[in-house]
Amino acid sequence: MVDNSPYFEEEQLDRSYDLRLLQWLYPLTKPYRLLLSCSIVLVIVITVFDLALPYITKIAIDRYIVPKMETTVVSAGTAGDGETRYLKVDMTEDLNGDIVRRYSRLFTYDGSYALIRFDDLSNLDKKDILVLRRGDLAGVTVITLLFLALIGANFVFNFGQVMIMEYTGQMIMHDLRIRLFDHIQGMAVAFFTRNPVGRLVTRVTNDTQNMNELVTSVIAFIFKDVFLLAGITVVLIIINWQLTAITFAILPLVVYAAIHFAVKARDIYRTLRVKIADINTRFSETIGGITVIQLFRQEEENYHRFEELNHEYYQAGMRQIHVYAVFMPIIELLGAAATALVIFYGGGRVLGQTISLGALVAFIAYMRMFFRPLRDIAEKYNITQNALASAERIYQIINNKEREPRAVDEPGLPEKIDDIVMDNVSFSYVTGETVLANVSLHIHQGETVAFVGPTGSGKTTLINLLTRFYEPQSGRILVNGQDIRTVDIAGLRSKIALVTQDPFLFSGTIRDNIVNGSNHISDADLDRIISASNCRSLIDKLPKGVDTELAEGGASVSSGERQLISIARAFARDPDLILLDEATSYIDSETEQKVQAALAKLMSNRTSIIVAHRLSTARTADRIFVLNRHRIIESGTHRELMEQKGFYFRLHQLQQ
């Protein structure tokens, strides 16, 4: 059946599609699960390194940079009362002993150790302080080397992870692009009549690239951000759970902001995908119809239409930027507020000596790290929304079942097409608008028949049904007694050659267009085909002969020359059935003679069907079928139809 639905690409899908999209995307990653697993393992290692760096800073501050203090109770005879913080010096080391003796008035003794108040350290010579703290300096050196080693390892693992993900993403998109191309190539002709080229090109290019961002920028990094958030939360609780509870009070605001802006972002990205497809469609139509636009002086009107589309895309882009520009500063503001709370509350705890300075510094560093993955997740969410908007469009194409017809068992046809029967065939492109109604006919092997009639009577539709570009709504088409809906469509079409009024040539050489993938054609066979199709004069005048490159659509040669090349292409197939759809309507009389001669050779000893507006083309046919008002109203030879003085006779008189 013919699908009469509108352009399905423009449908707006609800969020229930998201789960289906993810289920559809998952199989694409299966061949690369090992690479993805390696990437996730590297992400975990990188996350551990990231978590270790602030903690190493804490150790450096608490153990080495700030003097290691001992808290003791000083007896009544010493300087000071109550609790005092001291630096503990080992007297068994000679260098320490000399310094302690020189400044004996500043030290008190506790067994083999000497204690000096922190406030009194400024009374010592700087060199002596360095000697007393040489162990701390050594520790700082070790911590520095460890810090640099972790940064270096982090760089190496990040490089490996990025390379793996980029390779994986490119391969997944490579497979998706091939799958999408193959799927589109196998769609029924009706699908292409309803979907502009620019829109389909957008799906294969822009939308696929957006999904590449999803794989390379989101999947692994979401794992990293989630692991990082979980790790930071654990470390913060270990450092000080009260401080963690206070600062996490801001998180509900972050979640609310993320949800609020996510809803807006998805709708905007959907609009962007539709608008860029419309822009590509307009541009494609402009290039294809540039001669008509220039001839009718429609440049300004066409410019304004494109300008309007472009402005709509610009407005959608600005809405996206607005959402992003508001959301990111809000996250930054909340992060700054959390840091301010840490400084206020944590600073008081340091002064109250309930947490160390290193712990506070590390806590602030972790808090800044905590909001970094939140910002990353927000950014990745934007990318995800963009990718899912593209995935929706691709999914609609992949999920579209309007494929070329396939038989259940697909038996092959006999070696040659002997006869063709249409049995009460009815067809309409759009429901309620009949094109053919109860058409019946019988074409014998080797017979040449012609279909004539006014425009819209269904002549070309008969050819579309024979080639199975469309399926009839009722009735049957039999080839050698078999319903063509039950035979292999590739086998059927391999026995048919179609020459249209405006043949399409691919960019490439003339050889490629004639041979068209048939590797069994030798140079000698090709030479005979060129001669039989009257292409010799064309080939001889070209600088590279049959290897001359043609422009897209064969624009570098005339319409008559394109017609001759298409006839040569038909010769190369060695078909049983020749279909000619107004094959000489666009060419001059001189070229028409060459084309007619080539067609005569092509149709010799083959079953041929001619669709013609000009009755001079049809008069040599063995039988002529006259169509009017969707039915066959007359049939016979040219002489028989003229003698009947019916509809065909009146057409002939009008054309004369």
Q: Among 5-19, 318-332, 543-557, where is mean pLDDT lowest?
A: 5-19
Banded model confidence at residue 56, pLDDT cuts 50, 70, 90: confident
**pTM of the complete model beyond 0.85:** no
Q: Which amino acid is at 547?
A: D
pLDDT at residue 407 tops 70: no
% of the chain residues with pLDDT over 90: 12
| Mean pLDDT to the nearest integer, 517-544 | 84
Predicted pLDDT of residue 301: 87
Closest CA to 611 of 592, 625, 590, 629: 625
Q: Among 116-130, 132-146, 153-167, where is mean pLDDT lowest?
A: 116-130
Positive or negative, the Cα torsion across 312, 313, 315, 319?
positive
pLDDT at residue 214 tops 60: yes
Q: Please state, in angstroms and rounded to a whole number, the distance separating the CA atoms of residues 43 and 362.
A: 22
Banded model confidence at residue 3, pLDDT cuts 50, 70, 90: very low
How many CB atoms within 10 Å of residue 386? 23
Banded model confidence at residue 397, pLDDT cuts 50, 70, 90: confident
Predicted pLDDT of residue 598: 84
DSSP 556: T
DSSP string, 511-539: HHHHHTT-TT--HHHHHHHHHHTT-HHHH
Predicted pLDDT of residue 380: 73
Predicted pLDDT of residue 103: 82
Predicted pLDDT of residue 426: 93
Banded model confidence at residue 152, pLDDT cuts 50, 70, 90: very high
Predicted pLDDT of residue 640: 92
Cα 361 from chain centre: 45
Q: Please state, in angstroms and rounded to a whole number, the distance separating the CA atoms of residues 636 and 656.
A: 20
Q: What is the location of CATH 3.40.50.300 in the chain? A: 420-655
> Tens of pLDDT along 596-617?
888 888 888 889 999 987 787 7
Q: What is the location of CATH 1.20.1560.10 in the chain? A: 8-63+138-398
Mean pLDDT of all residues in the chain? Answer: 80
pLDDT at residue 648 tops 80: yes
Alpha helices (H) along 415-522: 459-466, 489-494, 510-515
Q: Are 440 and 472 in contact (CB under 8 A)?
A: no
Q: What is the 3-state secondary structure (H, E, C) of 255-323?
A: HHHHHHHHHHHHHHHHHHHHHHHHHHHHHHHHHHCHHHHHHCCCHHHHHHHHHHHHHHHHHHHHHHHHH
> Which single residue is written with the structure tokens 């019988």?
442
| Mean pLDDT to the nearest integer, 250-257 | 78
Q: What is the CATH number of domain 8-63+138-398?
A: 1.20.1560.10
Q: Among 104-108, 132-136, 149-153, where is mean pLDDT lowest?
A: 132-136
> Tens of pLDDT along 481-509?
888 888 888 888 888 888 888 888 888 88
Cα 169 from chain centre: 11
| Mean pLDDT to the nearest integer, 76-104 | 66
Predicted pLDDT of residue 462: 92
| Mean pLDDT to the nearest integer, 346-371 | 77
> Tens of pLDDT along 233-250?
888 888 888 888 877 777
Q: Are 533 and 564 in contact (CB under 8 A)?
A: yes
> Tens of pLDDT along 416-467?
888 899 999 999 988 888 899 999 999 999 999 999 988 888 898 999 999 8
Q: What is the CATH number of domain 420-655?
A: 3.40.50.300
pLDDT at residue 16 tops 60: no
pLDDT at residue 546 tops 80: yes
Predicted pLDDT of residue 17: 52
Predicted pLDDT of residue 8: 44
